[in-house]
Structure 1
């Protein structure tokens, strides 16, 4: 369903029913809400939560920003490496306000804010500037964005710079599978058939590569987040795979160090994806953490 959030049309999926504590799931760079697997959502709902997913702006079925152009990603990357300000059509702060707008549209006062990768960065911003809306924060396979942290492995960066052979469905799926093979969880590999089924479903739902580029620039422009993380006071759990080839585990460790009182959990054999086994592990960490935060939040002060 569509809701109006921060003045934009945002696509939302709502699972679990009113009257329950809410978990807001925020997905990563270029990824649609369906990248949160249905079984993962159901596991959290079965644990007693109302689970909200949404397509971030410029991706999936949410409102796009094609009128803003894509900018020059190569030049902006150079600017970032030189320590200059990256120019972007919008910011991660804008996307954080979108997410809060989703809660507003659904009449939700507070939520557990859970984000993966870029979604973790957005979730961090929500917890930093809207603590009254944040029952707890869970940052998954994400980063503080601090300069000096390790980046993707060289072969991953090379693959990210390559373009698909064409824009027909088979070529796009094959290209994405090659990337996923580089960043997958080595302890929990998926077959090409499993990956192709999921990728094909996403492509047929929506395909918007220009939005991915604009979101990438928004990440590069977000240079204040390392400083503001120290102001987060909501209960925080940082989850990161020890085999992440896209966002190395040092990035998650740095995030946890910067947020006072946060908990850090390293997940053996997890990369930068969400296969069923990893989703089960994540849910088994998130559900009890959120339940404990709910209990503390209702306790008399």
Structure 2
């Protein structure tokens, strides 16, 4: 059972943002940012529990255009080929807008600074939060993501054809079938996947607010936001970059480039991990994230900034 809430009037765009909290609010806050076409329910419960067991307060939420957050259904149809050619006329928003949504949610929660963890497109959003709102970020974790440089982190051609070459999914059954098929293509070959859980999350996501057109809107937002590499070089925040060496949806070159760009970033490459969060990696990933959180908290203490638990106001 989800214990989610809807925050209204969030950020400069004044959107509704659906979110859920787990763990003790007095502990350091970890803000989880999901990727394209994904919702807060796509963070596996076992992974969340692993973070909570490491004394972390976890917040997951639906990005704009996903789940129960605001959908921009009146926006012009997104034209990805045109956007790739440099025509941004169909772009409704950018990653900067999505980053501002995330910071707006921190405002609602009265969290001055959080440890921001993003997966896939969520990694790009998390990077943008760190770039554009540095005082709100205690540590940055970028998972299975890239820098926005089109020369790195690209989808492998065979994966592109297999995942994106089929017809759109409209019914609940089609959405679940696509999720299972996609997992078989981009999942982690060395770590078994719980297909029943994949199907359950896909069905729940459909029930919460399926929006096929929003996938393209988020896609063009990413392309239009461009290459973050020069701005990543200016970051001064404890950073962890996680990437699977078997990832064919976002080539590991994206993770390597991200870590190379951010001063002092720790790069963790995992053999046999694809573009997912399989049960066999939850504890390991949580350990890495907890470690960078500790570095961020220690740095904040040295600077006299307390901890994220200290700065959260009481309800």
* Shorter-chain TM band: over 0.9
Q: Deviations over 1:134-156 (max 9, x none)?
A: 10000000000113225212221
Distance 2:153 2:127 in 1: 19
Instruction: Pick the aligned partner of 1:91 from 65, 90, 94.
Output: 94
**1: CA distance, partners of 2:126 / 2:23:** 21
CA distance in 1, matches of 2:235, 2:80: 31
Report what 2:311 is aligned to. none
Give the Cα–Cα distance (whole angstroms) in 2 for the partners of residues 160 and 86 of structure 1: 25
Q: Distance in 2 between the 1:85 and 1:29 partners? A: 21
Q: CA deviation at 1:102?
A: 0.3
Q: Deviations over 1:141-183 (max 9, x none)?
A: 0000113225212221113333447622222222222222110
In 1: Cα distance, 2:152 partner to 2:213 partner? 27
2:6 to 2, 11, 36: 2
Decide which of 53, 57, 73 is 1:50's aligned counterpart.
57
Q: Which TM-score applies when normalising by structure 2?
A: 0.89
- The residue number in structure 2 matching 1:32 is 39
- Distance in 1 (CA, whole Å) between partners of 2:303 and 2:79 is 53
**For residues 134-213 of structure 1, what are the structure 2 equivalents within 5 Å?**
134-164=137-167, 167-190=170-193, 192-213=195-216
Q: Which runs of 4+ in 1 moved over 4 A?
A: none
SS in 2 for 1:138: strand
Q: Which of 56, 67, 75 is the matching residue for 1:68?
A: 75
Are the equivalent residues in 2 in contact too, given 1:164–1:171 (CA < 8 A)? no
1:41 matched to 2:48? The reply is: yes
Q: Is the 8 A contact 1:164 1:175 kept in 2?
A: no
Work out the CA distance in 1 between the residues paired with 2:44 and 2:169: 27
Contact 2:240–2:265 at 8 Å: present in 1 too?
yes
CA-CA distance at 1:285 after TM superposition: 0.7
- The question of 1:128 aligning with 2:131 is answered yes
* 1:283 aligned counterpart, secondary structure: helix
Q: Does 1:14 align with 2:17?
A: no
Structure 2: gaps spanning 5 or more residues? 305-315
More deviation, 89-98/276-285: 276-285
Q: Does 2:228 align with 1:225? A: yes
CA distance, structure 2, for counterparts of residue 229 and residue 16 of structure 1? 31
Which residue of 240, 244, 254 corresponds with 1:241? 244
Q: Which runs of 5+ in 1 are unaligned?
A: none
Deviations along 1:220-245, one digit per CA (max 9) or x if unpaired, are: 11114122111110111101001001
TM normalised by structure 1 equals: 0.93
Distance 1:165 1:211 in 2: 12
Alignment partner of 2:113 out of 110, 131, 139: 110
Secondary structure of the residue aligned to 1:68 is coil
Given that 2:140 and 2:238 are in contact with CA atoms closer than 8 Å, whether structure 1 keeps it comes out as yes
SS in 1 for 2:233: helix
In 2 relative to 1, CA 150–50 (structure 1 residues): closer, same or farther, beyond 3 Å? Answer: closer
Give the secondary-structure state (helix, strand or coil) at the position aligned to 1:93: helix
8 Å contact kept, 1:86–1:220:
no
Name the count of aligned residue pairs: 296
